[in-house]
Amino acid sequence: NTLECLRSIVKSMQQFGLAPDPKFAETVRLTSVELNDESQPVLSDALVQAAAEFLKSEAVKSFMTTHRNQFWILDAHPYYFNHMSRIAPRPYEYADEDFIFARVKTSGVVQTTIEVPNSFNPALRHRVINYEMIDVAGQRSERRKWIQYFDNVDAITFVVNLAGYATRMFEDDHTLRMNDELSLFKQVVGNPIFKDNHIFLVLN
């Protein structure tokens, strides 16, 4: 996540014609390197040191202030940057907060069965009700897979990230996430397949 955010800043600065200061050439080089050897740390000591200086520079601070809402970057990037020196060393010693701020791109569909005691019928309290929950990935490239799960749906929970009002999509730097989610929500609500279903909107 840390390296991904660093790359996003470097790439976006270049796209906006704001090339990083030449003295940060090493940071740019290190963030562009693809490390395929899993035995080697992704965040090397050299990168952590170079990135720390890069992020403290006035050019980067100004860029993040004026252009933050015009390119994609993970919401938790301040956490990653503040903890680079702790995250980088191997063996890695995690903190509980790392699990909260870690982000993994979801792909495909995850099905989970939830067993709930039957509280509706006293005579059947010894039985459980099985709820089948299907979690579909929200990326544009994954949405075409949704159609096969639309049959026999009792309810839909539509989750919206409130931070999306001012952040860009991963797939499209020109589209605000909130606008995309609003458009998608209208499509779901307006789909005749779901005219008899309950739809829950969760603002996260």
Average pLDDT over residues 173-177: 76
Q: For the chain, give every domain's residue range.
A: 2-101, 109-203
Determine whether 6 is exposed, middle or buried from the number of CB atoms within 10 Å of its CB (0-12, 13-18, 19+). Answer: buried
Q: What is the mean pLDDT of the chain?
A: 79
Residue 117's CB is within 10 A of a number of other CB atoms, namely 11
- Chain segment 9-58, per-residue pLDDT in tens: 888 888 888 877 777 777 777 776 644 444 455 677 888 888 888 898 88
- Identify which has the larger pLDDT, 173 or 156: 156
* Whole-number pLDDT of residue 141: 67
Annotated binding-site residues read: 106, 135-139
SS3 199: strand
Which residues fall in the annotated binding site for GTP? 135-139
Fold of 2-101: GI Alpha 1, domain 2-like (1.10.400)
Interval 133-154: pLDDT, tens: 887 766 666 667 676 777 778 8
Class of domain 109-203: alpha beta
Read off φ and ψ for residue 147, nearest 5 degrees.
-55, -35
**Where is the binding site for Mg(2+), in residues?**
106
- Among 98-102, 114-118, 137-141, 176-180, the minimum mean pLDDT is found in 137-141
- Mean pLDDT, residues 82-107 taken together: 83
pLDDT-derived band at 126, boundaries 50, 70, 90: low
Tell me what pLDDT residue 79 has. Answer: 92
